[in-house]
Amino acid sequence: MQNIRWKVITIVVVLVVFAGVGVYPILAGRYHWPSPGWLQEKQLKLGLDLKGGVQLEMRVETDDALRLQTDQESERLRDELTKKGVMFTNLTTPSVTQFKFEGVPPAQAAAFRDAANEVRANYDLSPGTNGTYTFTMKPNIAQQLGDEAVVQARETIERRINELGVTEPSIAQQGTDQLLVQLPGVTDVDKAKAIMGSPGLLELKIVEQGPMSTKESLLVGGQVPSGMEIVPGSSGAPGDTANTSYYLVRKVAAVTGRDLRNARTSLDENNQPAVAFTLNNEGGRKFGNVTGDNVGRQLAIILDGRVQSAPRIDSRISTDGRITGSFTNEEVQNLSLILRSGALPAKLDYLSEGTISPSLGADSIRSGVIASFVGLLLIVLFMLVYYKFSGINAVVALVFNLIILLGLMAYIGAVMTLPGIAGFVLTMGIGVDSNVLIFERIKEELEAGRSSRQSMNAGFSRVFWTLVDTHVAALISAAFLFNFGTGPIRGFAVTLALGLASNLFTSIFVSKTLFELELTGRGQGAQLSI
């Protein structure tokens, strides 16, 4: 008696807790019942396919980060060689992880190696014939740079999305270089893509010459002067060379977007939308030095490889600047958002996109709920008809199972998706199987002439390991399903697995306690209705 009282108390406590976490907030939200905020916060979350929103899958082009590193290192070595008077005829970059110096005179081989010492921390050096030296990025460095690029991209996107004010966005890394971004409630997928995918690379460079209408007019002796580069202006479309002007600028930027402290919308002197920016201390010092040395020259404000404007430097500027151009209000807002959140370390390639309107999601919820109730009704009818009074036992265990499942999902913050609803419905059909196995065994024992209590005990203990086996087998496939899927499918795997776990509890513990209750206080001759 003592024993069974504790069992009942345990069950009631478990039920109240899970019903409180899993079921009450849903009902409270629907029928406007009072509910504390912390409980509403724990409420079962709906996946994108039920709530509506945008989902984007993208790959971070980690090659960009490697190329940048290779360019920087090769340029640094070139400077070093020039400083030390080491000769070479050519510098090429055959791949994103390789660069090659050619034509180093044999007499200067030792000096070359000496200069290359620092580079060799990250690159393997392999000498070839005719003074050729090939530097190849060490695999672990390449790996590390790639990983860093993905992490940085993820953080940058996170900042941009947060600035957009999306509630409960989710950004998850998939595999080595892919990101899955989910934006509930967002419907304008093009805007989201534009903001997330914009490189947002701001560079301020001193203009040596320009603007000119052709690239050729900026060349010196048919070549781009050393340490310089040609950057197109922003006027005209990318393919439209007729209206594009070109600037010859110093390759090394005075400051970049990394030195930004803030960027915000403002107006230029003609009351046109513009972006005002403030540099941090370090950037301000650099900027002050460069502008102070170059008063009277033009400063190119380059955004993502295009000169937006090239105002004349009238005096030394330290921390504040402004980006002007022919912007709309919205462009200015997006641009300042992008600049605030920092540059992407690499390009993003969109692999897939999906949008679901909230009404489509609501349709899914409705049909999912109807299917759940029809499924439940069918199971309840069957169990009551086939197992008579004991069917009630199974139905109670089943309802407990579903309540615990909802509570568990809400508690661990799992997301309910449309396939998750399918898992929920299947849990009813599969969960009740445990009761069927136990009941059939009890019947068998009863037919073998045992008493009700003996049969009931034997039924539960004999079937226990069978249940463990079937549940483990199902959990194995659920685990691989979780590993395979993303988003909605993961929701399904989680629902299924939690349903299996709670089913073990309800079909063995709850069901048995109910039988014990039924038999308590009745004599040896008590009959089970089964």
Partner 1 sequence: MHIFKDTKYDFLRWRWHALVLSWVIILAGLFVLATKGIPKGVEFAGGTVVITEFSKPTSVEDVRAALDRSFRGGDVVVQAYGDPSKNQVRVRVPSIGAEKGQGLSATKDAVVAALQKSGLGEFRVAGSEIVGPTVGAELTSKGIWATALSLVGILAYLAFRFQFSFGVGAVVATIHDLLVTLAFLAFFRYDMSLNVIAAVLTMTGFSTNDTIVIFDRIRENLRGMRRDSMYQIINASVNQTLGRTVITSGTALLTSLALFFFGGEVLHGFAFTMVVGIITGTYSSVFIAAAIVSFWRGTAPTRAGAHAPASTSAPQQTPAPQQPTRKTKAQRKARAS
Residue with tokens 């600028």: 249
Residue 349 touches partner 1, criterion: CB under 8 A: yes
Site for partner 1 contains 257 (CB under 8 A): no
Point out which span in 23-31, 221-229, 345-353, 516-524 binds partner 1 (CB under 8 A): 345-353
Residue 135 CB, nearest distance to partner 1 (Å)?
29
Task: Identify the residue among 115, 116, 493, 494 touching partner 1 (CB under 8 A).
Answer: 493
Span interacting with partner 1, options 136-144, 218-226, 317-325, 482-490, rule CB under 8 A: 482-490
Contact between 388 and 529 under an 8 Å Cβ cutoff? The reply is: yes
- The Cα 81–Cα 114 span in angstroms is 10
In angstroms, the CA 163 to CA 455 distance is: 65
As given in the structure block, the two tokens for residue 24 are: 């009450």
DSSP string, 397-431: HHHHHHHHHHHHHHHHT-EE-HHHHHHHHHHHHHH
Choose which of 235, 256, 355, 451 interacts with partner 1 (CB under 8 A): 355
**Under rule CB under 8 A, which residues in 496-515 are in contact with partner 1?**
496
CB of residue 154 to partner 1, shortest distance in Å: 19
Cα–Cα distance measured from residue 511 to residue 517, given in angstroms and rounded to the nearest whole number:
10
* Entry field: residues in the chain: 530
Short-list 29, 62, 59, CA closest to 44: 29
Site for partner 1 in 397-426 (CB under 8 A): 418-419, 421-423, 425-426
Question: Count of CB atoms within 10 A of residue 285's CB?
Answer: 15
d(C-alpha 137, C-alpha 118), whole Å? 13
Alpha helix stretches (DSSP H) within 246-341? 281-293, 329-340
CB 272 to partner 1: min, Å: 26
> Cβ closer to partner 1: 350 or 505?
350
Is residue 448 near partner 1 by the rule CB under 8 A?
Answer: yes
- C-alpha triplet 232, 192, 335: angle, nearest 5°: 40
Q: Given candidates 40, 92, 461, 520, which one binds partner 1 under the rule CB under 8 A?
A: 461
Minimum CB separation of residue 478 from partner 1 in Å reads 6
Binding to partner 1 in span 49-88, by CB under 8 A: 49, 57, 59
Q: How far is the CB of 490 from partner 1 (least distance, A)?
A: 10
Asked if residue 375 binds partner 1 (CB under 8 A), the reply is: yes
Contact call for residue 40 and partner 1 (CB under 8 A): no
- What Cα–Cα distance (Å) separates residue 504 from each residue in 14, 435, 460? 14, 10, 12
Sequence-separated (6 or more) residues with CB below 8 Å from residue 85: 111
Compute the least distance from the CB of residue 237 to partner 1, in Å: 15
Rule CB under 8 A: say whether 197 interacts with partner 1.
yes
Query: Is residue 282 near partner 1 by the rule CB under 8 A?
Result: no
In angstroms, what is the minimal distance from the CB of 426 to partner 1? 6
Q: Which of 485, 501, 509, 516 binds partner 1 (CB under 8 A)?
A: 485
CB 401 within 8 A of CB 435: no
Q: Is 489 in the site for partner 1 (CB under 8 A)?
A: yes
